[in-house]
Amino acid sequence: MHTQLNKMQALPPICLDRRLERLQALYQTIQQNKQNIINAINSDYGHRAAGETLLAEVLVNLEDIKHTIKHLPRWAKADQWTADWKFWPSRCAIVPEAKGVVGIMAPWNYPFNLVAGPLTAAIAAGNRVMVKPSEVTPKTAELIQQLLAEVFTDDEVHVVLGDVDVADQFSRLPFDHLLFTGSTRVGKIIMRNAADNLTPVTLELGGKSPVLIDRNYSLDKAAKSIAKGKWFNAGQTCIAPDYVLIEADRIEALIAALKKHTIDAYPSIDINNDDFSCVVNTQHFERLQGLLKQVPNNQIIDLYPDYQNQVNRMAPVIVNQPDQQSKLMQEEIFGPILPIVAVNDLSDAIDYINRGDKPLTLYLYSNNRTTIRRVKQQTSSGSLAVNETLVHFAQQRLPFGGIGASGMGSYHGHQGFVTMSHMKSVYYQSRLNGNDLVRAPFTQLKKKII
């Protein structure tokens, strides 16, 4: 790995024409391999809804690449202006330059998207890239290696396969930038490893993303949107709603609405329903069952009471007012379990959110401008999504990233280009002006200022 990195670091950045051409090739390769991507992830998961893979791992990336190709010639241009009047007519410029070789480490929950997205940004900025896909989804990792070898030369993009030990060694390489997507726990290890090389990091982490439903907001609308975001990929989404905060007297009606919209979307959870995904593996399935074991039976609302769990296929469950000290309320759930927490009012909900780690996304359901402004100003999160789940991830003009325990730095669209670039400051001294202001003796200057 080290030799490969040294070889790549000795090479110049990828020129703009080549970047545009390779991004176009990447676009075509993804288009042509839609079915292979669906099949690989499906095989890694036991079953992954084809519609979810198409949306989250094909269409989102195709749109991202298209947007990048369209705007890259402008993003890559230097921004130039005439210096401040004291230095006039000298000039200043900000010149985006490739950082060098970027490392990308990806998790298993969107194993293709979370390689292709950061890769698009890194290539757009002219970097060479080394990729370490997740070992939890090995078929997808192999496909990524094969497809990227078709699009890029090995000294442009190199894919490393392997387990956690390989991931550890990978994160210790002296990259010029490292973008890691994964858990907060491993994010801390990655940052420590990168610190030894002073490698700058972007950490795209997880945590508990709360949902807050305002007093007057339609429960039917909120439930429809929450069900969509929570059960997508069986809750294994970094920005999945983790739990809901709502006044106690509205909980019963919310549960009824959630039931209705869940069953509308997934009439059955059976293996014959292609639209519902499995939990990725037995270890995670057992982790989720373990969370439920700590909850008293009378708090568990099974939305499919007749369904018998099949291998790693877990039916959606609501938990009504769980103990705040339970693991369910202390850890990121990352599966099809939705706790509902009673609050007294908006202030109580805001206090609750502010007592926890800063979330990756905060969801707010409200049509009241004062409430929206208050939540925006009085809470801190990577992103705030009002009246809808998940789709903020697909907005090319919105930077995506966390804050505090949910991450640092961001990417997507232009922000991705900026993250993967060094914005070099350049000053051009004019031939007409000698800058006598900063040269000794300072007699005149002192007379003017003192």
Binding site for ligand NAD (CB under 6 A): 105-109, 114, 132, 134-136, 164, 167-168, 171, 181-183, 186, 189, 204-206, 238, 332, 334, 360, 402, 407
Q: Where are the beta strands (DSSP E) in 182-331?
A: 201-204, 209-213, 241-247, 300-302, 317-320
Shortest reach from residue 245's CB to ligand NAD, in Å: 20
- CB-wise, 304 or 417, nearer to ligand NAD? 417
- Our answer to whether residue 238 is catalytic in this structure is yes
When the beta carbons of 78 and 164 are compared against ligand NAD, the nearer one is: 164
Of the pair 27, 112, the CB lying nearest ligand NAD is at: 112
Cα→Cα distances 338→10, 60, 291, 331, 426, Å: 50, 26, 12, 13, 52
CB of 183 to ligand NAD, least distance (A): 3
Cα 38–Cα 41–Cα 46 angle in degrees, nearest 5: 115
Determine the residue type at 74: R
User: C-beta of 164: minimal distance to ligand NAD in Å?
Assistant: 5
Minimum distance from CB of 187 to ligand NAD (Å)? Answer: 7
Q: For residue 399, which amino acid is it?
A: P
Could you tell me the smallest distance in angstroms from the CB atom of residue 98 to ligand NAD? 23
Shortest reach from residue 186's CB to ligand NAD, in Å? 3
What's the min distance (Å) between Cβ of 106 and ligand NAD? 6
Out of 204, 247, 252, 332, the active site residue is: 204
Minimum CB–partner distance for residue 402 and ligand NAD (Å): 6
Measured from the Cβ of residue 54, the count of other Cβ atoms closer than 10 Å reads 15
Q: Is the peptide bond before 89 cis (omega within 30 degrees of 0)?
A: yes
Closest CB to ligand NAD among residues 100, 206: 206
- Strand extents, DSSP E, 100-190: 101-105, 128-132, 157-159, 177-181
Residues 6+ apart with CB under 8 A from 57: 37, 41, 110, 111, 112, 113, 116
- Which residue's C-beta sits nearest to ligand NAD? 206
Tokens of 108: 């298993």
- Give the residue with the Cβ less far from ligand NAD, 53 or 366: 53
Report the side by side order of strands in the sheet with 91-98: 79-82, 91-98, 421-428
- Give dist(CA 394, CA 53) in Å, integer: 14
Q: How many C-beta atoms surround the C-beta of residue 298 within 10 A?
A: 7
The sign of the CA dihedral 41, 43, 46, 51 is positive
Give the residue with the Cβ less far from ligand NAD, 180 or 365.
180
Q: What angle do CA 56, 360, 185 make, to 5 degrees?
A: 100
Give the nearer residue to ligand NAD in terms of CB position, either 371 or 410.
410
Q: What is the dihedral of CA 289, 294, 298, 301, to 10 degrees?
A: -30
Q: Which amino acid does the sequence have at 83?
A: A
Instruction: Copy the structure tokens of residue 304.
Output: 């499919």
Per the annotation, the verdict on 388 as an active-site residue is: no
Name the residue nearer to ligand NAD (CB basis): 251 or 288: 288
Query: CA of 420: how far to CAs of 8, 129, 200, 389, in Å?
Result: 16, 11, 10, 27
| Count of all residues that appear for the chain in the document | 450
Provide the sign of the torsion angle of the four alpha carbons 253, 254, 258, 259, taken in this order: negative
Q: Out of 238, 286, 331, 332, which one is annotated catalytic?
A: 238
**Which amino acids are annotated catalytic?**
204, 238
